[in-house]
Amino acid sequence: MNSLYLAWQYIRFNKFKTIILVASITLIAVLPLSLEILLAESERQLLNRAESTPLLIGAKGSALDLAMNSLYFDDEVPELLTMAAADRVYDTDLALPIPLYARFQTRGHPIVGTTFDYFDFRKLKIAKGQPLTMLGDCVLGAKVAAELELGPGDSLVSSPENLFDLAGVYPLKMKVVGVLTPNHSADDLAVFVDIKTAWIIQGLGHGHQDVTRTRDSSVILKRSEGNVAANAKLFHYTEITDENLDGFHFHGDTSIYPVSAVIAVPYDDKSGTLLRGRYLEGDESQLIILPAEVIDGLLQNIFRIRNVLDAVIALVGLATLLAIVLVFTLSLRLRQREIQTIFKLGCRKATISRMMMAEIVLILMFCAVLSSAALGVIDSNAEELVRRLFIG
């Protein structure tokens, strides 16, 4: 106990030196371990999500972009395809098509346009409020609701895609009608809308005052039989309400409207195999992927990088340890006088060694406590960190 007491007094007196030492040791311990935690978590998240998604259909291009956008709502939007792609799957009678349009954002969170089937497929339940019922409604992922402190009855405005596009589409004020239960996946961080609402956000569907009934002649450019042309003064709705719902409409055939991907849920294994076969033609403009295969390939690359990273960390760790040994050695040299005094007083060699060891033990204990705390924080936030650092 006396050794520990003296060691503690020494450490207290040399606070600055101790803090630097503890910080370096902690850092070198926490760095590889936290990386290990985050990589394991990212592997878990990536694989879980990928393995639970049987097939993904997208426009020909990057399979990785398609998988990352469709599974984790990554910012990188893949080549778009049309709603006809979903109809095509439906017509095969081999799988259930679930269209996804994950292109827009609101307050830093992805807006995912989809259909009711998506909620059933991902087993997403409403924790508060109700499911989507009309255009302009949105349902929040659990973490979005918590982070933005929003719930049913509140509203959210979509973010413009390009701030400098002055002639662009007005942001849409969406009504929050429900909040989902957490499912510890990218769904928790997304805002879900009906796919038609996503098209309205893009400006493909819109609502404005009825030009056939307006009495304001300054709005009308040209009126002819069966056709009225209005100028830019025409008031466009930026929010869908019960009153103006009828004013919203889509021009043209919605089958040519864009989607970013179609999740295909085969009715059985054989159907899945047959469906994949349909997309293997050479002139096929669409791509069908097994998300698990794509993500597995990504993970292999991550692990290769991790090996390099591990080696770098090991080298840095070794260098730090050597520096720490040097610090201890120099410290011992600087403390020769003190050691001489203790020796002259009659202290045994073993006691002197025990005192030095007590200092090292105390320092290592501080490092262990700090490292544990840091790793605890990282571990408890790993899910969020992985999504923000690696996936999101």
Partner 1 sequence: MISIQNLQFHYPNSEFRLTVPEFAVSPGEKIAVVGPSGSGKTTLLNLLAGILTPKQGKVRVGEVAVSDLGDAGRRDFRISNIGFVFQDFELLDYLSILDNILHPYRITGALKLTGEVRQRAVHLAEQMGIAGHLKKPPGELSQGEKQRAAICRALLPNPSLILADEATGNLDPTNKNRILDLLFESVAEHDATLVAVTHDHELLPRFDRVVDFRKFQQGAGSKELGAKSPLPPTPDSQHPTPASP
Exposed, middle or buried by CB within 10 Å (0-12, 13-18, 19+), for 242? Answer: exposed
Q: Please tell me whether residue 222 binds partner 1 under the rule CB under 8 A.
A: no
Tally DSSP H helices, then E strands, for the chain: 12, 16
Specify the amino acid at residue 82: T
From the list 9, 1, 2, 3, the residue with the least C-alpha distance to 355 is: 3
For the chain, give the longest Cα–Cα distance.
114
CB of 337 to partner 1, least distance (A): 8
**Block residue for tokens 């984790």:** 72
CB of 320 to partner 1, least distance (A): 25
Looking at the Cβ atoms of 4 and 220, the one nearer to partner 1 is 4
* DSSP secondary structure, 274-332, as one string: HHHHHT-STT--EEEE-HHHHHHHHHHHHHHHHHHHHHHHHHHHHHHHHHHHHHHHHHH
CB of 145 to partner 1, least distance (A): 54
Looking at the Cβ atoms of 5 and 303, the one nearer to partner 1 is 5
Residues 150-189, one symbol each (x = binds partner 1 by CB under 8 A, - = not), give ----------------------------------------
Contact (Cβ atoms closer than 8 angstroms) between residue 289 and residue 56: yes
From the list 115, 111, 142, 121, the residue with the least C-alpha distance to 265 is: 121
CB of 27 to partner 1, least distance (A): 26
Looking at the Cβ atoms of 308 and 345, the one nearer to partner 1 is 345
Residues 7-36, one symbol each (x = binds partner 1 by CB under 8 A, - = not), give --xx-xxx----------------------
Residues 249-268, one symbol each (x = binds partner 1 by CB under 8 A, - = not), give --------------------
Q: How many C-beta atoms surround the C-beta of residue 206 within 10 A?
A: 19
Residues 321-360, one symbol each (x = binds partner 1 by CB under 8 A, - = not), give ----------------xx-xxxxxxxxxx-xx--x-----
Give the range of 2-10, 121-129, 158-166, 316-324 binding partner 1 by CB under 8 A: 2-10
By rule CB under 8 A, what count of residues binds partner 1? Answer: 23
CA distance linking residue 238 with residue 274, whole number of Å:
44
Looking at the Cβ atoms of 8 and 250, the one nearer to partner 1 is 8
Q: Interior CA angle at 169 toward 167 and 175, to 5°?
A: 150
CB of 14 to partner 1, least distance (A): 7
CB of 346 to partner 1, least distance (A): 3
Looking at the Cβ atoms of 167 and 350, the one nearer to partner 1 is 350
Token digits of residue 379? 């571990």
CB of 17 to partner 1, least distance (A): 11
Helix pair angle (15-51, 291-334), 10° resolution: 170
Binding residues for partner 1 (CB under 8 A): 2, 5-6, 9-10, 12-14, 337-338, 340-349, 351-352, 355
